[in-house]
Structure 1
Amino acid sequence: MNFFGNRAASGNGNAKQPAIRKVTTQVAVKPGRAVGASSTAPASPAPASLPARSRNTERFKLSGSRKQKQTSTLRHKALDSSSRGVKRKSATPDVQFSDEEQDDSSDIGTSDSDASRKRPKSSVSSVETLSASRRCIVPKAAFRNGAPLSFIHGAHLTSGEYRRKYVNPWEQPDFSTVELQYPSKRQRESFELKWPLNENDDYRPMEDIRDTIETIVKFYYPEDLVRKYTEIEHSYARRFARAFQLQSIQDWIKIVQDFNHELRRLINDGSIERELQAKRGLHLEWIQRILDQVFVRTVSPTAESLNKYKSGSDNVYGELLPPFVSEIFRKVGLTHDHVFVDLGSGVGNVVLQAALEIGCESWGIEMMHNPCELADAQAAEFASRTQLWGLDVGEVNFLRGDMTKHSAVPGLLQRADVVLVNNQAFTPELNDKLKNMFLDLKEGARIVSLKPFVPIGHKMAVRNVEDVANQFVQKQDEYFSNSVSWSHYGNNHWYIATKDTRPLRAFRKKAGLG
């Protein structure tokens, strides 16, 4: 046999051609197979002498005992489900939509008037979760006749030392005073119907009345009355707009009186309290209305004092706005069972929002004198005004002093579930001190900051195994220009660092470091 094929050359250089030998052999055909049939042809039927296999119809049925047992079990489940009113699951599961998808789809094919009549959803931050029980937002004292509350009336901001900043509306010879009912059995708030000379900066009492009434109707009234008072012909907004158009102060007063009468009726028959008990949390629009009232009565009159700080130091005042703060609460999963701490709390806006929106125990610490004074004023007004609005809130606490030296801070950090540090303008030295203080945090606690405490791109190695950053897992997110009240420094990111020592322990064990 030629193993080299055509590559074996003869002496004259020509390749030898392989020799092919053909042999014909006769083979006897087996019975039942046609001569010349292809091997791929289908097999012929079995001969009649071979009986076909009979089909066992009982093959896949349960035996007697198993069948009786399973039938009994199914019958028991069916009876148990029917007795409890449990609906049987369908073969195809229902499609679940996120809140964002529901919000987007709900506006399709509806008019603006239809959308305005819809009651906004509650904030998801306060909704019952698997890790926390449902928060109750109704205080018992709000719907009982109690001692008068001490709070700053709207009339106070347009009288006395502030009187020169205001004029009577529509050139009236004198101004009028009205009292506004809130959704509780507390006393009413007094307002002077005046206009500010500087509409951009000063308090506007008539707008405060209008916005407060619209908020109460939207979030406290029963659903049928919400529809009634947001329809064009019955809406308070339309009546206020008409009073402005007619320049009638008497029409304005009549609207407030009608609202007071209707709200008082709903308070007395228990409708307002029942509506609050059915709610799971507070909508952001509702939260902002209350916080704005507190802020404008305490901080706004002396806001210029907040600009008295040394530029380039750690004592730079900056403010996180309510929508951004609400997003932070949602991302970190803050609930009313948690403890919230704001290191460098300024005038206390975020501390108050956590107590109002989430209902948690809320702490703040600040060292600058002017912000501390305003934070205390806000806390006092907040305590009374939330009772006016018929709401139960979390405990509010403010500390004064250096956060790195205050004796109460280490123990507070040991209890904290979420720590907020607005460290956008902090020096590197202060950030390093804070990072070491975070060793006191419990496992799973979260730090929210505007500058990262875990360096971007940080990797665990033997040379840096003792670095505090190895005990935290960090995520980065983005915020936008309308989230804060100061000019940006070029990096619009915020960070959530969660204390998790498991990766560090695993690394030390693998590296043989004990």
Structure 2
Amino acid sequence: MPESEKSLELKLHSPAGVEAIIFHWPLTSGSGADKHDGAYEIVETIRWVCEDVPELKRAMEVNILSDYDTRSYESMRQLCDKYNRAIDSVLQLEKGTSLPATRFNKRPSRGMLKHILTQIYNHAVVDPEKLNQYEPFSPEVYGETSFELICQMIDQIHITEDDMFVDLGSGVGQVVLQMAALTSCKICVGIEKAETPCKYATEMDRLYTKWMRWYGKRHSEYKLMKGDFLKKEHREGITGSSIVFVNNFAFGPNVDHMLKEVFADLKDGARIVSSKSFCPLNFRITDRNLSDIGTIMHVSELSPLKGSVSWTGKPVSYFLHIIDRTKLERYFQRLKNPKLRVSLQGV
């Protein structure tokens, strides 16, 4: 390949008026199993900007986005140049109006965010196979949770700006970044101890900030931390959270037991979403299980979603636990009152 071709660039101007994003030619090809397609990424990025800017959509879709050759540098350069001129024109027309502030200081749509997260994952996680190099069913087993599952969780639990979210075993950070973009949580935190996911999470963090700024989209505060979530230094942060997410499907009994000890200190109303339930769905308090975590939580099953995790295509159930200490208080009140003992079965 000629030396001159290696240094060719394709530039996309920001719809928010910040620094342009540069792609280097030749673009990555989508031929390999784990390779992403750089040309497809450019076209999809333009399409998502068009979804945000109706004036641009009308200008681009008529003939520009329907006629290009992803194998030709000249064709892709013309596509980018036409997009750049169009978005520059829109921004120029909007100068001095309130349109930029109202349009570009919002959270991204779910479709746009999925594109952004896929985009940054493809660049940050250069060797996805390394994420699976753990002993099967060990506490460190790595399984990525799907975008759709987190959307389902967001839809089913009421989230406010007072909520604090924590992902225990956050991998490369996708769940935390998604929660930060789509919810008004005060802060979203991820804790991961494995070296490889943490290394990739650092790059995910950098690219997420870069692309969210480029699109002009806001997000809640977030933090991706390296560490063992079972260590003492993280306990206060976890017990102070109101939403806990944990993909504990293959953690094993020892880790689950230690997590239960941490969860026993969560505040009333705190919610835990996990891939394995921390107590039976039909748990009933008796004098033999008064020390069980089930005495202070209600548990229900979220509707199974096919493809909700990366390690199986089968539908995987997730469970919602809500901390409620009045459950145990009601049990003792009924014990004191012989007339209420008959209803103990319902506790």
TM over 0.5: yes
Corresponding residue for 2:34?
201
Give me the whole-angstrom Cα distance separating, in 2, the residues matched to 1:477 and 1:274. Answer: 35
State the shift of 1:208 in Å: 0.9
State the shift of 1:395 in Å: 1.7
Corresponding residue for 1:389?
215
CA-atom RMSD in angstroms: 2.4
* 508 and 373 in structure 1: CA distance in 2 versus 1, 3 angstrom threshold: same
Which one-letter code corresponds to 1:298 in the other structure?
A: A
Give yes or no for the alignment of 1:366 onto 2:192. Answer: yes
The aligned runs of 1:396-415 (5 Å cut-off) are: 396-407=222-233, 409-415=234-240
SS in 1 for 2:320: strand
Give yes or no for the alignment of 1:250 onto 2:74. Answer: yes
Task: Write out per-residue CA displacement over residues 38-87 of structure 1, whole angstroms, 9 at most, x where no aligned residue.
Answer: xxxxxxxxxxxxxxxxxxxxxxxxxxxxxxxxxxxxxxxxxxxxxxxxxx
Which one-letter code corresponds to 2:123 in the other structure?
A: R
Task: Write out per-residue CA displacement over residues 366-401 of structure 1, whole angstroms, 9 at most, x where no aligned residue.
Answer: 111111111122112222221122122122212222
SS in 2 for 1:493: coil
Give me the whole-angstrom Cα distance separating, in 2, the residues matched to 1:425 and 1:332. Answer: 24
Give me the whole-angstrom Cα distance separating, in 1, the residues matched to 2:102 and 2:110. Answer: 21
Give me the whole-angstrom Cα distance separating, in 2, the residues matched to 1:347 and 1:439. Answer: 28
Give yes or no for the alignment of 1:179 onto 2:7. Answer: no
Which one-letter code corresponds to 1:440 in the other structure?
A: D
- Structure 1: gaps (5+ residues): 1-166
Corresponding residue for 1:494?
318
Corresponding residue for 1:512?
336
* 274 and 456 in structure 1: CA distance in 2 versus 1, 3 angstrom threshold: closer
* 253 and 506 in structure 1: CA distance in 2 versus 1, 3 angstrom threshold: same
* 334 and 235 in structure 1: CA distance in 2 versus 1, 3 angstrom threshold: farther
SS in 1 for 2:67: helix
* 456 and 491 in structure 1: CA distance in 2 versus 1, 3 angstrom threshold: farther
The aligned runs of 1:119-134 (5 Å cut-off) are: none
Give me the whole-angstrom Cα distance separating, in 1, the residues matched to 2:90 and 2:297. Answer: 51
Corresponding residue for 2:344?
none
Give yes or no for the alignment of 1:267 onto 2:106. Answer: no
Which one-letter code corresponds to 1:454 in the other structure?
A: C
- The structure with the larger Rg is 1
State the shift of 1:197 in Å: 7.4
Give me the whole-angstrom Cα distance separating, in 2, the residues matched to 1:398 and 1:284. Answer: 21
* 291 and 235 in structure 1: CA distance in 2 versus 1, 3 angstrom threshold: farther
Corresponding residue for 1:8?
none
* 402 and 192 in structure 1: CA distance in 2 versus 1, 3 angstrom threshold: closer
Identity %: 26
Give me the whole-angstrom Cα distance separating, in 1, the residues matched to 2:252 and 2:320. Answer: 19
The aligned runs of 1:109-508 (5 Å cut-off) are: 174=5, 176-194=8-26, 196=29, 198-219=31-52, 221-222=53-54, 224-227=55-58, 229-230=60-61, 234-240=62-68, 243=69, 249-268=73-92, 269-270=94-95, 271-277=99-105, 281-299=107-125, 301-360=126-185, 361-407=187-233, 409-487=234-312, 492-508=316-332
* 316 and 239 in structure 1: CA distance in 2 versus 1, 3 angstrom threshold: same
Task: Write out per-residue CA displacement over residues 329-373 of structure 1, whole angstroms, 9 at most, x where no aligned residue.
Answer: 221222344211001111111011111122431111111111111
- Structure 2: gaps (5+ residues): 338-347
What TM-score do the two structures reach when normalised by structure 1?
A: 0.60
Quick check: 1:214–1:236 contact (8 Å CA) kept in 2? no
Give me the whole-angstrom Cα distance separating, in 2, the residues matched to 1:178 and 1:227. Answer: 23
Quick check: 2:304–2:315 contact (8 Å CA) kept in 1? no
Corresponding residue for 1:56?
none
Which one-letter code corresponds to 2:254 in the other structure?
A: E
Quick check: 1:313–1:427 contact (8 Å CA) kept in 2? yes
Quick check: 1:282–1:357 contact (8 Å CA) kept in 2? yes
Give me the whole-angstrom Cα distance separating, in 1, the residues matched to 2:22 and 2:305. Answer: 38
What TM-score do the two structures reach when normalised by structure 2?
A: 0.87
Quick check: 1:340–1:416 contact (8 Å CA) kept in 2? yes
Task: Write out per-residue CA displacement over residues 268-320 of structure 1, whole angstroms, 9 at most, x where no aligned residue.
Answer: 4244433235x5x4321111111122211211x13232122122311100001
Q: How many residues align?
A: 329
* 237 and 199 in structure 1: CA distance in 2 versus 1, 3 angstrom threshold: farther
Quick check: 1:179–1:188 contact (8 Å CA) kept in 2? yes
Quick check: 1:410–1:440 contact (8 Å CA) kept in 2? no
* 311 and 454 in structure 1: CA distance in 2 versus 1, 3 angstrom threshold: same
